[in-house]
Amino acid sequence: MISQSTAQKALDVALSRGGDYAELFLEDTASNSLSMQSGESDGASSSRRCGCGVRVLDGSRYIYTYTAGLNENDIIAAAQAAADALAQDRQAQAVRFEVRSFGAYPLKAAEDIDNAYRAKLLIDACRAGSGVDPRISQVKASVADVDQRVLICSSEGLFTTDRRVRTRIRVQAVASEGGDMQTGFMAPGSGCGYELFDRIDPAELGKQAAQSALMMLSAPECPAGFFPVVVESGFGGVIFHEACGHSLETSAVAYGNSEFCGKIGQQIASPCVSAVDDGTMDGEWGSCAVDDEGTETKRNLLIENGILKSYMSDIIGSRRMGIALTGNGRRQDYTFAPTSRMTNTFIAPGKDNRDEMIATMGDGLYAIKMGGGSVNPLTGEFNFAVNEAYWVKNGKIHTPVRGASLIGKGGKVLMDIDRVSDNLELAAGVCGSSSGSVPTNVGQPCIRIKGITVGGKGEML
């Protein structure tokens, strides 16, 4: 994207008025999307985004500037603006670069795929979903791809390139009857090109989304109360991501804004719970070879048999807390300064059996897919909607229910997990925070929480 001499010049300028570290984040990202509603085109887009972010650090303080495009003069000007904003005595000087290159070429790259191929994927999904039942009133489908190429240079000698390719399809079905409407969705994604569809069938996704919508259409309202809850694998992992994962990022911990501050080496979860953040997993949605600060990603053991082992850190968090970098410095694009963020974050597989979990839970909720919600990292308090769920009566699945929500506190939920199965599944998502929206995988095996507040408007079933 730029030469080493240009990078060296920009870093020298960035440090010309003070600071102990400077960094350039250059990005060239191509993206495409196509959407359909009930088999008819609903929109298409193609874009190219290029730019450079400049960051100068002085201890744990920083100045961040950015510029659109990759012109040398503009990058130097952004570096000068960052230096002028810091305006201290010069403290550091850029060193000689060590060049590293990461990223792999996709088997079916987006530039080799035309919209006719994309359209067929969506038509197959829409037709299959619409054909499930006359009560399916609408099926929407979209496919999107992103090919992000980055160059990260720093005054400590980084000159690192990486290529991040991601592809995702979303299918949403609407079931309608007597003025009532319910939705079902499927949205798998992966860190690869269009070879994703060598193993994912859009027609099958359409059917599954439609069946989910139909099931919820006839479901009674969920009862409210304090009950045992079994949370299924895959999308169920959003509970750990939101209620616990954010509280383990140094962007919260380093500022005292987490319920897990100062608890390394202490028990924060049930002994059957271990949790991992792993950015190295091949082809996964949240993976990258290096984070957006140039640190190589790794498998970070967060919780081991209930004991808190580590936090997820970026450079600022590492400096504030005096801990090692973990490869979790991430940002949406060059217009954002990075901060500590999750990659592929999940509860590790256990040894329990899902059927046994349900059979021995008495009356309670079996939650299949989690929806949106809110969480306070400082207290861990959360409230999440459940998009697909079943009521369990005397240890047997009794009926689908709708309108369920789970209300609790992250630390307490971790302690109240009493079963963890061996069926780990991950699910693609997008996480928003101070450094923008980044692709993250959530996941877990099927787990059982021995008691949690369930919100709902229904009578006991």
Over residues 268-316, the pLDDT tens digits come to 999 999 999 999 999 999 999 999 999 999 999 999 999 999 999 999 9
Single residue among 217, 251, 279 that ends a domain in this structure: 217
Residue 243 has pLDDT above 90, yes or no: no
Of the candidates 344, 341, 334, the one whose C-alpha atom is nearest the C-alpha of residue 151 is 334
Would you state the structure tokens that stand for residue 239, as one six-digit string?
Answer: 């509970």
More confident residue, 358 or 244: 358
Q: How many CB atoms lie within 10 A of CB 278?
A: 20
Rounded CA-CA distance 381/401 in Å is: 24
Rounded CA-CA distance 348/443 in Å is: 9
Q: What HEC string does 342-407 produce?
A: CCEEEECCCCECHHHHHHCCCCEEEEEEEEEEEEECCCCEEEEEEEEEEEEECCEEEEEEECCEEE
pLDDT tens digits, residue range 197-214? Answer: 999 999 999 999 999 999
pLDDT (0 to 100) of residue 376: 80
With respect to residue 355, please indicate whether it lies within any of the assigned structural domains.
yes
pLDDT tens digits, residue range 339-351? Answer: 999 999 999 999 9
With respect to residue 461, please indicate whether it lies within any of the assigned structural domains.
no
Q: Place 39 in a pLDDT band, splitting at 50, 70 and 90.
A: confident
Residue 373 has pLDDT above 80, yes or no: no
The total of structural domains in the chain comes to: 2
Residues 109 and 253 in one domain: no
Average pLDDT over residues 172-178: 94
pLDDT (0 to 100) of residue 88: 74
Residues 78 and 137 in one domain: yes
Region at 121 (left for phi over 0; alpha for psi -120 to 50; beta for the rest): alpha
| 155 SS3 class | coil
With respect to residue 364, please indicate whether it lies within any of the assigned structural domains.
yes
Residues 184 and 312 in one domain: no
Average pLDDT over residues 184-192: 94
With respect to residue 406, please indicate whether it lies within any of the assigned structural domains.
yes
Average pLDDT over residues 30-57: 93
Residues 122 and 79 in one domain: yes
Residue 190 has pLDDT above 80, yes or no: yes
Residue 52 has pLDDT above 90, yes or no: yes
pLDDT (0 to 100) of residue 92: 63
The fraction of the chain above a pLDDT of 90, given in percent, is 82
Of the candidates 158, 190, 97, the one whose C-alpha atom is nearest the C-alpha of residue 292 is 158
Residue 244 has pLDDT above 90, yes or no: no
Which residues have CB under 8 Å from 141's CB, separation 6+?
A: 35, 36, 121, 122, 125, 126, 129, 169, 170, 171, 172, 202, 206
Residue 236 has pLDDT above 80, yes or no: no
Compute CA distances 161 → 68, 153, 289, whole Å: 19, 9, 10
Residues 207 and 315 in one domain: no
Residues 331 and 212 in one domain: no
With respect to residue 460, please indicate whether it lies within any of the assigned structural domains.
no
Q: Place 56 in a pLDDT band, splitting at 50, 70 and 90.
A: very high
Range of 89's domain?
4-217
With respect to residue 417, please indicate whether it lies within any of the assigned structural domains.
yes
pTM of the predicted model as reported, rounded to 2 decimal places:
0.92
pLDDT (0 to 100) of residue 389: 93
In this structure, of 95-99, 163-167, 193-197, the range with the lowest mean pLDDT score is 95-99
Single residue among 200, 217, 234 that ends a domain in this structure: 217
Residues 427 and 411 in one domain: yes
Residues 102 and 196 in one domain: yes
pLDDT (0 to 100) of residue 218: 85
Which residues have CB under 8 Å from 342's CB, separation 6+?
A: 241, 245, 246, 249, 277, 286, 312, 328, 431, 440
Q: Place 90 in a pLDDT band, splitting at 50, 70 and 90.
A: low
Residues 56 and 129 in one domain: yes
Q: Place 91 in a pLDDT band, splitting at 50, 70 and 90.
A: low
The fraction of the chain above a pLDDT of 70, given in percent, is 99
Residues 192 and 242 in one domain: no
> Where do the H-state alpha helices sit in 228-326?
238-240, 250-253, 315-321
**Residue-averaged pLDDT of the chain:** 93
Residue 150 has pLDDT above 80, yes or no: yes
Residues 272 and 186 in one domain: no
Rounded CA-CA distance 60/212 in Å is: 48
Q: Place 370 in a pLDDT band, splitting at 50, 70 and 90.
A: confident
Average pLDDT over residues 364-368: 95
Would you state the structure tokens that stand for residue 16, as one six-digit string?
Answer: 């010309």
Single residue among 188, 217, 246 that ends a domain in this structure: 217
Rounded CA-CA distance 132/203 in Å is: 11
With respect to residue 416, please indicate whether it lies within any of the assigned structural domains.
yes
**Rg, C-alpha atoms of the chain:** 24
With respect to residue 246, please indicate whether it lies within any of the assigned structural domains.
yes
| 235 SS3 class | helix
Alpha-carbon 54 to chain mean position = 25
Would you state the structure tokens that stand for residue 192, as one six-digit string?
Answer: 């690869």
Compute CA distances 92 → 21, 49, 88, 154, 277, whole Å: 7, 31, 11, 12, 33
Domain containing residue 186: CATH number: 3.30.2290.10
pLDDT (0 to 100) of residue 86: 86
Length of the chain: 461
Q: Place 94 in a pLDDT band, splitting at 50, 70 and 90.
A: low
Residues 255 and 153 in one domain: no
